[in-house]
Amino acid sequence: MKSQYVNELKSGQLVKEKFVLSKKIIRSRKDGSKFALLEFSDRTGTIEGIIWDIEQLGSVSTGDFVFITGNVTEYQQKLEIVISSISPVSEDEIEPDDFLPQAEQDIDEVMADIEEFCAMVKNKYLKKLIDSFLKEPEFAKKFRTSPGAKKLHHAYLGGLAVHTLNILKLISHIELVYPFCNKELLITATLLHDIGKIYEYTYKNMIDISTQGKMLGHIVIGYEMVSEHINKIPEFPRDLRLKILHMILSHHGEFEWGSPKLPVFPEALILHFLDNLDSKVDIMAKAFKTNRGKEKEWSDYHPYFEREIYLSEGD
């Protein structure tokens, strides 16, 4: 176990610890000499760093485990580490659990709950489609481990499964409000809407975006995966096929949020808004959690929400 974690670092503290080097940007001064802006990560978060003497940096690359010494200082109301030395650390000197953020929930339970929702689906084609994924061991393994994002919402191992279950819970009583909804279609599309994320991210030393993720993104990857599985199910109804594929393509809800199609029927619209709700609540809850206890009424300016978050919990 590490003795110093990112979320516990304080201004003025001396750091002697292992981290993942998660970003490295080399900058030049006017006289041609160079310095580097860095970022360090562990399972609790990320912190920026700076190294004034580029020679000290050696050959370390982004994604490497490193041992650093330095001082935590506050610059523009943010903590950063001024590095005095940095050296690579081999993989057998680290404990992987120290570096990758994990879900707070028990993922076995999360998966069992997801399967319980899926068991409500009786339509034989949708059922076959769900089984074709969940009963494939390789898929199930990746689905339960995959993060929901690199930085924003559910950015930890198991995040995809937790996010999927949250939306399933949100639709669990949808028929009471919208009785015209095809709930089985909604359950199936919710399970499948983000499955492209299992190939969008890599999570060896840190959560990162894969080449496939950078070039295609999870909407296109997921569309391809579901399309392939449907093609293997004889006589899968044309309308159902179009609806599920449309729900994957339209779930981000806006062109500028990466959806090539906008939702064109109620179940697609519902999936989009619940997906959006769960993502945004998770981001705000994280901002709330990381700022609480600092005796501040407001968080720092939050770049995603473009506003400060009110932190007070009342008297």
By beta-carbon proximity to Fe ion, the closer residue of 166 and 205 is 166
Catalogue the long-range contacts made by 256-261 (C-beta closer than 8 Å, 24 or more residues apart): 258/217, 258/219, 259/219, 260/219
Comparing CB distances to Fe ion, the nearer of 275 and 282 is: 275
Q: How big is the site for Fe ion, counted in residues (CB under 5 A)?
A: 2
Structural contact between residues 56 and 86, judged by C-beta atoms closer than 8 angstroms: yes
At its nearest, how many Å lie between Fe ion and the CB of residue 142?
16
Contact code string over 252-291 relative to Fe ion, x by CB under 5 A: -----------------------x----------------
The nearer residue to Fe ion, 53 or 254, going by C-beta atoms, is 254
22 with 41: CB under 8 angstroms? yes
Q: Which of residues 160-219 bind Fe ion (CB under 5 A)?
A: 194
CB of 86 to Fe ion, least distance (A): 36
State the nearest-atom distance from the C-beta of 150 to Fe ion, in Å. Answer: 13
Interaction residues for Fe ion, span 73-102 (CB under 5 A): none
Rg (CA), the chain: 22
Q: Could you say which residues in the range 41-80 bind Fe ion, by CB under 5 A?
A: none
Q: Which is nearer to Fe ion, 39 or 194 (CB)?
A: 194
- Would you say 82 or 220 has its CB closer to Fe ion? 220
In the complex, minimum distance from the CB of residue 114 to Fe ion, in angstroms, rounded to a whole number: 14
Give yes or no for a contact between 79 and 73, defined as CB atoms under 8 angstroms apart. yes
Burial 268-297 (b: 16+ CB within 10 A, else e): bbbbbebbbebbeebbbebbeeebeeeeee
CA pair distance 44, 41, nearest whole angstrom: 8
Instruction: Name the one residue in this structure whose structure tokens are 């494939």.
Output: 136
Residue of 144, 156, 235 lying closest to 191 (CA atoms)? 144
At closest approach, how far in Å is the CB of 147 from Fe ion?
12
Nearest CA to 192 among 147, 234, 227? 227
DSSP string, 84-144: EEEEE--GGGS-GGGTS-B-SS-HHHHHHHHHHHHTT---HHHHHHHHHHHT-HHHHHHHH
Cβ proximity to Fe ion: between 193 and 243 the closer is 193
User: Shortest gap between Cβ of 169 and Fe ion (angstroms)?
Assistant: 14
Nearest 5 degrees, angle CA 240-CA 243-CA 246?
A: 150
Nearer to Fe ion, 42 or 194 (CB): 194
Q: How far is the CB of 205 from Fe ion (least distance, A)?
A: 24
Give me the residues that bind Fe ion (CB under 5 A), please: 194, 275
